[in-house]
Amino acid sequence: MNRKQRRAAPKRHPSAGGQRAGAGGDPVGQMFAEAARLQHDNKLSDAARVYKCLLLLQPDHAEASNNLGLVLHAQGKLNEASACFARALALRPQLFSPFAGVCVTLAAVNPAIGQAMARAMPAWPARLPAARLLDGSSLDALAADPLLLGILQSTVIRSLALECALTALRAHLLGIALGAAPATAGELTLCCAIARQSFINEYVFATTADEESGVAALKARLTGAAAAPMTLAAIAMYLPLHTLPDAAALLDRDWPAPLAAVLIQQLREPKAERALVSTIPRLTAIDDGVSLRVQQQYEENPYPRWLRVAGGVEPAAIDQSLRDMFPAAPFTALGKTADLDYLVAGCGTGWHATSIAQKYLGARLLAIDLSISSLCYAKRNTPPPLSERIEYAQADILKLSAIGRSFDVIDASGVLHHMADPFAGWRALIPLLRPNGLMHLGFYSELGRREIVAARAVIAECKLGSSPEEIRRCRQDLLQTPLARLARFDDFYSMSECRDLLFHVQESRLTIPQIRDFIAANGLRFIGFEFMQPALQQLRDLFAANGSSMTDLDKWHAFETQYPDTFAGMYNLWVQKN
């Protein structure tokens, strides 16, 4: 739509585990119910007043912050609305998914960035000048938007339109840093926010030869003189500061607050991770050829990058969680709400392990991975209350039998498809599972990955390696082909994720009949495929209408054959040991 004519309505993000409205004897719950009623009745001033009173009592109420943002937006108070949405996202990082809804909200409360997104993408690969991109709005105004800053500093940007706009703004800010005039405080703030975003996405944004020359000129200014804050911030938009010569000396100076935050991200935190190397136990040897190649990839690109754990998660018994997900599936309850021994095989950078520790009552985890770099990232980023229940260690799945431990639940949802033989890895894990133990597994689908396979064939034909420069070039080249649909995958938007998606050194894909046969041959029982709501409910209704059981893998195979994008991400399934 034409953003000059009217503002987009922001998306109402769902709350995850928010305050129950109107809970008996709960003043916060009663206030929330009252504010929601006033909001529904379009009594916006009254609703805003009650939401604000509630937030004085409970500042971390994410849904109240979100709803207050909606009310303030409806009143035309865009700056206040932006701050409320930013607060809600900070409290509940899981609200960043799906990212399309975040972009709608951002454009609604900041029409200038909405216009920039609408203009940048059609002009791509040209970088529009800021005057055309922003249509008269200033960089200082962008830098004053708390929602934009919060997004840039908190998550990977997963929108082509926003990526194009930010890439153009980055080039403009580089020009300001190269110029003679001093940068404004707003320009420095925005430059630092884009630098932090660049570090989060591992510098996946495309660059031009002119930009690379400009960055080289800025680096030359660092020699023999104290760096100007804008010079350092501009360099940080294009490469991590810890790669600069004598980077540690930068920590000896006082810097403006936005730049000090960049130095924490790009110098102090990587240093802290390196210091953790000696603290990671090595449980097994790693000498399998494929394991060594996979290990090397993740040493170079720990995956995935994440910043904060989800907020407002109420833990539940694993039996109840599975029953909610699979109400008709036959499985034997574990009956455990304490001392739930959980193995995460292939934990990467720890995001999934922390999610499990939050989700299940009594879970205590052994989280293993091949990559020490990934494990150090995980250990640094895991909050202390969770780290007490997660043991991170280096090990190879193929040798895990040597550790002499057994588990109630084993999660191998991100690793088996990167083994030479996924079934060998699966088979190696089964003896570690206690009787009636549960397994959560992930496999790539042969049908669902057909576009990825085609892209990998193009990459191989072009003899592209997996260097950052080649990944950046590949992303841009693919966008000019019918394979541009790959941009719908979240993994398209950061360097490590894109490498994992398109350049992985080892990828295996399966079919449902292969999974069915392995389950039957190895004393396992299929419980169900895991989907997010509302897709799960839609599938339940569809199977029920057809008189089919959701535990019938032959029916699932027929369904996937008819709808090959069903498992475009992967098969996520639960099984139980008989």
pLDDT lower than 70: segments of the chain: 1-25, 224-225
What is the pLDDT, as a whole number, of residue 392? 98
Which CATH superfamily does the domain covering 289-444+508-577 fall into?
Vaccinia Virus protein VP39 (3.40.50.150)
List the structure tokens of 226.
């104290």
What is the pLDDT, as a whole number, of residue 16? 33
Indicate the domain borders of the chain: 1-109, 111-275, 289-444+508-577, 450-502
What is the pLDDT, as a whole number, of residue 25? 66
Q: How far is CA 316 from the centre of its chain?
A: 23
The Cα–Cα gap between 181 and 447 comes to: 56
Predicted TM-score (pTM) of this structure: 0.92
The Cα–Cα gap between 551 and 568 comes to: 20
Residue 57's Cβ-count burial label (10 Å; 0-12, 13-18, 19+) is exposed
The amino acid sitting at 280 is: I
The Cα–Cα gap between 184 and 149 comes to: 16
Instruction: Choose among 197, 10, 206, 7: nearest CA to 121.
Output: 206
CB 86 within 8 A of CB 149: yes
Q: CB within 8 A of 28, min separation 6: which ones?
A: 19, 54, 57, 58, 61
- Backbone φ and ψ of 312, nearest 5°: 65, 30
What is the pLDDT, as a whole number, of residue 437? 98
List the structure tokens of 261.
């935050």
Q: Under CATH, which architecture does the 1-109 domain have? A: Alpha Horseshoe (1.25)
The 3 state secondary structure assigned to 200-238 is HCCCCCCCCHHHHHHHHHHHHHCCCCCCCHHHHHHHHCC
What is the pLDDT, as a whole number, of residue 2? 34
CB 259 within 8 A of CB 276: no
Q: Does the N-terminal peptide bond of residue 534 adopt cis geometry, omega within 30 degrees of 0? A: yes
